[in-house]
Structure 1
Amino acid sequence: MSMIPVVIVGAGPTGLTAATLLAQYGVECLILERWESIYPQPRAVALDDEVHRILARLGLRDEFAAISRPHQGLRLLDRDMRVLAEFRRDTAPGPHGYPQGSMFDQPELETILRRNLKQHGTVTFRGNAEVTALTQDASGVRVDVTDTATGEQESIRAAYVLGCDGANSLSRASIGAAMQGLGFTQRWLVIDVVTEADLGQWEGVHQLADPARAGTYMRVGKTRYRWEFQLTPGETADDYRDMARLHPLISRWTGDIPVAELEIIRVAEYTFRAQLADRWRDRRVFLLGDAAHLTPPFIGQGMCAGLRDAMNLAWKLAGVLDGALAESVLDTYEIERKHHARAMIKLAKFIGTAMTAGGEFGNVIRRAVAPRLHLVPGLTDLATDSRTPPLHHSDLVVRPRLRRGLAGRLCPNAIVDGHRRFDDLAAGRFAIVTSIEPSAAQRADIERRGAVLIVAHPGSELHRWLRTGAARAAVVRPDGTVLHASRRLLPQTIDAVRRGGG
């Protein structure tokens, strides 16, 4: 039985992203997906500019721009639709080269992700392929697969398996991992509507802080709209399957638009949970996406977290497979991503609780406090800034003990030479960003290590960025994360990574 370097279980956005990134490094991989076609119903609808940057890395810059629309930020509304607080985001490109927030339709995103895979000859996609068991030994993983159309069974050998198989993950069960609750469970109604009519609403996310029924509204596309409402005890999605019963919930936004012009695409019940797997890896099997973490949707980071997982792991796994990196670098995946995912889940919990907790008393507090939130120093920046926390210290994130620094943060995707951005030049390799003019010998040394040298000239965006971290040079990993920043050129740090320690 021949060995496939990587088998990916699940062809959602996380699995497709991981496969594409691995393919860019020339890694052969097989995607096994239980269903043949894309799930047609919309689920995820938002992503930030950090994740937009990942899509561009996949080669989908123009395609995603064509199916998405920037959103303008967040409004907190009371039950009478009065604006309690507003946090606006600039829809112009930010430090990563893209709008800080974008809305999209997930089936459209999965369509372009699948189509993009076809240009990579190292990726094989198999639908109607249900993985029924994963069994590890010293040299690989046996993947048992059943063809759901014919019932035929077979076994495949893989060097590594990426479990991108969602909340009910067989991959997670196979490694004996369990989800740990983080203290948040709520039942919500999710509604998607299509209409050619213009609702005339502010083009950002509306958070309805109504103690009787909290809700969320956002425009997803040219004709697509999304509402989410907290369900009361005893209610189910079946209570709102037709527009006659649904309309009273959404009429605050639809106004006088005739019911006949509103088409229901989906009405579903979701239980919003905050959960984290107790471990994300057992030897050759890794968990990514919803298999590893579940977050309430209040800050739009559910799908984003899965794509961040793929971006973090793919370059490390590719390096191990081709012998460029020591296998010990794979230990950094869970260390870095688990801490980050936990921080984002906690933030989502905070927003959800602030919007829904306290009943009428909580409503009184929100009405008193929310209009004054803009007076709190730094709070507006915190609410509108799309930057996420730095990665946790690891062998691949060398952070100073006494100050925050740049390590663990993303290097800005700045314009470097008039038109090309950092990502275009780095192209998935190590990079040295420096405000020090290197000598010819230093340039040759950096080139010998296979790294890209980017000089940050005075007045440039990258020069200003280095100064914010009191640094003159930064070693940037292939995923755009700063490995180490210093006042000296330290290209030898890359050698330390390849030996297995930062």
Structure 2
Amino acid sequence: MTDIAGAIDYDVLVVGFGPTGAVAAGRLGRLGHRTLVIDRLTDVYDKPRAIALDHEIFRHFDNMGLTEAISPHIEPFTASEHFGVDGQLIRRIDMVAKPYPLGYTPSMVFSQPAVEAELRRHARSFSNVHAELGVELLGLVQTPDRVEAQLKDGDGRQRSVTARYVIGCDGASSTVRQIAGLGLEDLIFDEPWLVVDVRVDENAIARLPQCSAQFCNPARPVSYLIGPKNHRRWEIMLLPGEDARQMERPDNVWKLLAPWLTSEDGELWRAASYRFHALVADEWRNGRILIAGDAAHQQPPFIGQGMCQGLRDATNLVWKLDHVLRGVSSDSLLDSYTAERKQHVIELTGKIKAIGQSICERDPAAARRRDAQILADGGGKPLLLTRQEIIPPLRAGCLSYREMPARGTLFPQPRIARGAASGLLDEITGPGWRLLIDGRSNDAASILSLGLTRADMSVAAIASAGMGCANALEETEGVLASWFDRHAVVAAVVRPDHYVFGTARNATELGDLLAEVDLRRRDVPAGQDRIPDLKMERTP
């Protein structure tokens, strides 16, 4: 397409068709926005990279209608057992117990090539999403109402397209980030590792650990992960003086795997050396250009949150872009994207770094002190953590101005009785703005009446069987009742990405909260215009 007589070709140009770009394009497509997604590669990379996802991300996949397509490629994540200097168990990281707070297994492993193919297929299923592969971004020209992108096709032909916004989902070496002049902040972690993926023969699987594991041996720290089916992954720290490329050679890989497997026990699927970094972009937006996924941040892989962070970016950004493109909110709402996601990434990366630095300790005396401290923290027993408690809430951005219980946390998803069966809450309310009410509250009926005046929100009161107001939905496991009791509130306003905007203890507080939603969602600061008349081109 070309820009004719002032028309703009697309609402959004997505650069990069990996998981983050595919989710962004699919969500934009479902919302009806004209979207072009490009990638310089012509197909899905056929080796596994990301291996873990969590219930927040699976909830988004379910909202997108992808559960049936991707479930064959996903399995529960086993607990991760951490072993100290002498091979003793010092720490165990598991998932939260049932009933699961979001309705799904909290931690999962998946096969990236198969899941990524389904994400692409889903995005392409929308007539308003156009995908072009083998296409390279050369430059961007930004003006107050659009961005013009210079593209190069696989045959070398150059052309330009225009879009109202550009999202760079084009990886750690992001061209979009470089063009937009968005710098990276070093969060100080840089370690060389070798990642090895093996398809293990059935007769050898029983000899391997039955849980994922971290071998915190100062001689050479190693991570072991159980992937779907017969996929097993080892992440092996490289030592000073070892040449990363040489260590990728199959003969050297099998030497490193000798404590567990021989070359007769399976097929070497991938061996790739990486430097595990901790980086975050200073800013995630320059006018109409935004970045997401690895373009915006990189973190060590020790609790499997790398891809999850990218998909949180996409989901956070798309609902805000939808509001702006539909005229519900001003362009300044997009400033909350950096405010929310950058702080979340920095906080989570700090926790991951602490775990990684503990695992990577090379000094034997310091490693023994580490083991003793972790056991002491567990009361003399292996310390038990859940992956879910490591994930922080949102702390700033498009949230209530006031401090209140549960603000910025993920809202739970209870199972709701539907005749003889049950279904999940999102199936009833949808994933837009929602007002959820404790149906057991004495003033539930009046709060429900107040909520029903809102045409822009799904509204529902929820209670256990026989304990709620007449119009309450019936939850089957007490997940939401427990949540309301824990936070001592009777209502919650929830955003389209399932984060709690704010909560209320009574009808008066709810009225104030709903007024604040309108103010924050419009987010129109007077006299501000962030969109510069700026020409930006790729540095040769």
Same topology, TM > 0.5: yes
SS of 2:416 mapped into structure 1 = coil
**Counterparts in 2 of 1:479 and 1:146: CA distance versus 1, 3 Å:** same
What is residue 484 of structure 2 aligned with on the other side? 466
What is residue 98 of structure 1 aligned with on the other side? 104
One-letter identity of the residue aligned with 1:158: A
Partner Cα distance (2:301, 2:149) in 1: 32
Task: Report deviation, 1:244.
Answer: 3.8
Partner Cα distance (2:343, 2:381) in 1: 27
**Counterparts in 2 of 1:441 and 1:55: CA distance versus 1, 3 Å:** closer
Identity of aligned residues (%): 32
Task: Report deviation, 1:241.
Answer: 4.1
Q: Tell whether the 8 Å contact from 1:199 to 1:253 is kept in structure 2 after alignment.
A: no
2:424 pairs, out of 397, 411, 421, with: 421
1:496 pairs, out of 519, 522, 525, with: 519
1:418-456, Cα deviation, whole Å (9 max, x unpaired): 423222223221110112555589547535432111102
Partner Cα distance (1:41, 1:63) in 2: 19
Q: Tell whether the 8 Å contact from 1:71 to 1:91 is kept in structure 2 after alignment.
A: no
1:308 pairs, out of 298, 308, 312, with: 312
SS of 1:56 mapped into structure 2 = helix
Q: TM-score normalized by structure 1?
A: 0.92
SS of 1:342 mapped into structure 2 = helix
**Counterparts in 2 of 1:86 and 1:429: CA distance versus 1, 3 Å:** closer
One-letter identity of the residue aligned with 2:399: V
1:85 pairs, out of 64, 86, 91, with: 91
**Counterparts in 2 of 1:371 and 1:63: CA distance versus 1, 3 Å:** farther
Partner Cα distance (1:141, 1:203) in 2: 52
Summarize the alignment of residues 84-233 of structure 1 with structure 2, pairs less than 5 Å apart: 84-89=90-95, 94-147=100-153, 149-197=154-202, 198-200=204-206, 201-233=208-240
Summarize the alignment of residues 205-284 of structure 1 with structure 2, pairs less than 5 Å apart: 205-254=212-261, 259-284=263-288
Summarize the alignment of residues 246-395 of structure 1 with structure 2, pairs less than 5 Å apart: 246-254=253-261, 259-375=263-379, 380=384, 382-386=385-389, 388-394=391-397
Name which of structure 1's ranges 11-20 and 68-77 shifts more when overlaid on structure 2. 68-77
Task: Report deviation, 1:79.
Answer: 5.3
Name which of structure 1's ranges 68-77 and 301-310 shifts more when overlaid on structure 2. 68-77
1:351-371, Cα deviation, whole Å (9 max, x unpaired): 110111251112222343344
Name which of structure 1's ranges 404-413 and 229-238 shifts more when overlaid on structure 2. 229-238
Task: Report deviation, 1:329.
Answer: 1.4
**Counterparts in 2 of 1:93 and 1:10: CA distance versus 1, 3 Å:** farther
One-letter identity of the residue aligned with 2:179: S
What is residue 63 of structure 1 aligned with on the other side? 69
Partner Cα distance (1:17, 1:48) in 2: 15
One-letter identity of the residue aligned with 1:88: D
**Counterparts in 2 of 1:270 and 1:242: CA distance versus 1, 3 Å:** closer
Partner Cα distance (2:155, 2:425) in 1: 48
Partner Cα distance (1:118, 1:90) in 2: 35
Matched, 1:434 2:441: no
Aligned length: 494
SS of 1:96 mapped into structure 2 = coil
What is residue 42 of structure 1 aligned with on the other side? 48
Name which of structure 1's ranges 473-482 and 85-94 shifts more when overlaid on structure 2. 85-94
1:389-436, Cα deviation, whole Å (9 max, x unpaired): 111222x211544xx611111110112344232222232211101125
1:136-184, Cα deviation, whole Å (9 max, x unpaired): 011110111001x210000010100001011111111122111111111
Partner Cα distance (2:504, 2:450) in 1: 20
1:23 pairs, out of 16, 19, 29, with: 29
Task: Report deviation, 1:62.
Answer: 2.4
What is residue 410 of structure 1 aligned with on the other side? 410
Matched, 1:478 2:482: no
1:214-240, Cα deviation, whole Å (9 max, x unpaired): 110111121211111111122134334
Which consecutive unaligned segments of at least 5 residues does structure 1 have?
none
1:368-389, Cα deviation, whole Å (9 max, x unpaired): 3344443289963x44435621
Q: Tell whether the 8 Å contact from 2:26 to 2:124 is kept in structure 1 after alignment.
A: no
SS of 2:415 mapped into structure 1 = coil
Partner Cα distance (1:326, 1:218) in 2: 45
